[in-house]
Amino acid sequence: MGFGAPIIILALVLLTDVLVKPGERDAVVPRPEQPRALVWAQLAVIIGSIALTGLRALPSLGLDFGPEISFWMQFLQATDRIGRVLGIGGNQATNFITYALIPGATVLLLRASPSEIGFARFGRGWTRIACLWLVLPAIGWVVAFVSFHATVGFMIWQLVRNFLSNGFSEEFLWRGLLFTRLRALLSDEWAAFLQALLFGAWHLCADYSAAHGNWLFIIATMISSQAVFGYAMAWLMLRTRNIALPTLFHLGYDSLGDAYGMK
C-alpha cells in the first residue's frame, strides 16, 4: 500500500460527508447489549486471535517459534493443507479459519448478535456511499482487463482468494469483531483510533519485509498507510452499519494490487 493510497482514502472520506445528507449520517451500528463482563470475554477471544495470527510472521523478524506454541503452528499447517486440498489456497483457508471462522463463532457463542458484529441493516444513503467508494476499484479492474488482457477466470480467482485471505476475513476480525467490542467500552472515535493503530502494528512484519529493516520507513508506513486504512474502514462501517462495503473496498483494492503486480 503506497503513500498515495491514504490520500485517496481520506479524500473519499471527505467526499462522503459532502454527498451524504446530514439526516443520513445518524445511522448507528448497534452497540453490544451484553453485560460488561461478557463483552470483556468476547474482547479477550478477539485479542487472543489477533495475537495468535501475528505469530505466523515472527520468522520474518528473525525470531524462532518456541515449543509452547508448536501446537498452534501445527494447526496452521493443517489449515494450510486443507486449503490446498480444496483448491482455494493454503493461506486463504488459514486466514479465513483463524481470522473469521473461529473468533466469529466463539463471539457468537458468547451471546453477541449478528447485527452487533457488522451484519446490521444498511443505513440510509448507503447506495451513494457504495458508488463513491467502489468506482475507483471498478475503473482499475476495467483497465487491467483491457490493458493486460486479463481473463475473466483470472479476475474471479483474484477476487475469491482476496475475499478469503484479506477482504472479508480481515474486515470481519478488525471491524466486525474488534471495533464493535471496543465501542462497548470507548467512544466511537477512540474505538476507531485504537483499532486502527493495532491494525497498523499487526502489519509490522509485512512492512518490515518490504522495507528491508528500515524502521523509520516501517513506522511511517504503519501509521500513514495501514492505520489510516484501518480508521477509514471503521468509519465506513459506521456510516453504512455493515461490513459489506469495507469488505468490498478492501477486496477490490487488494485484488487490484495483485492483478497489477502479477501482470
- In this model, does residue 62 exceed pLDDT 90? no
Distance CA 258, CA 239 (A): 28
What mean pLDDT value characterizes the chain?
84
Q: What is the DSSP letter of 22?
A: G
What's the average model confidence in pLDDT over 216-237?
Answer: 83
Q: Find the angle CA(183)-CA(255)-CA(245) to the nearest 5 degrees.
A: 35
- Check residue 262 and give its pLDDT: 45
Per the listing, cell 476495467 goes with: 142
29 compared with 181, residue with greater pLDDT = 181
Record the pTM: 0.89
Bridge partners of residue 119, in order along the sequence: 242
In terms of phi and psi (left: phi > 0; alpha: psi -120 to 50; beta: otherwise), the region of 229 is alpha
Domain boundaries, the chain: 4-262
Which is more confidently placed, 20 or 38?
38
Say yes or no to pLDDT of 46 above 90: yes
Q: Which range has the top average pLDDT, 28-32, 172-176, 206-210?
A: 172-176
How many other CB atoms are there within 10 angstroms of residue 250's CB atom? 25
Please report which confidence band the pLDDT of residue 26 belongs to, taking 50, 70 and 90 as the band edges: low
Mean pLDDT lowest for which of 24-38, 62-76, 85-99, 185-199?
A: 62-76
- Which alpha helices (DSSP H) does the chain contain, by range? 4-19, 36-54, 70-86, 90-95, 102-109, 126-147, 152-162, 168-171, 180-182, 188-202, 204-211, 215-221, 228-240, 244-262
| Phi and psi, residue 119, nearest 5° | -120, 35
Distances (CA, A) of 133 to 14, 26, 189: 11, 19, 21
Q: Judge whether residue 24 has pLDDT over 90.
A: no
Between 152 and 13, name the one with better pLDDT.
Answer: 13
8 A C-beta contact, residue 194 and residue 182: yes
Q: Look at residue 248 in the predicted model and tell me its pLDDT.
A: 94
Helix axes 152-162, 244-262, angle to 10 degrees: 130
Q: Cα(11)–Cα(153) distance, rounded to whole angstroms?
A: 32
**Region of poorest pLDDT, from 109-123, 143-157, 209-223:** 209-223
* Structure confidence by residue, pLDDT tens digits, 125-140: 888 899 999 998 888 8
In the predicted structure, residue 118 carries a pLDDT above the cut 80: yes
Which H or E run contains 112?
none
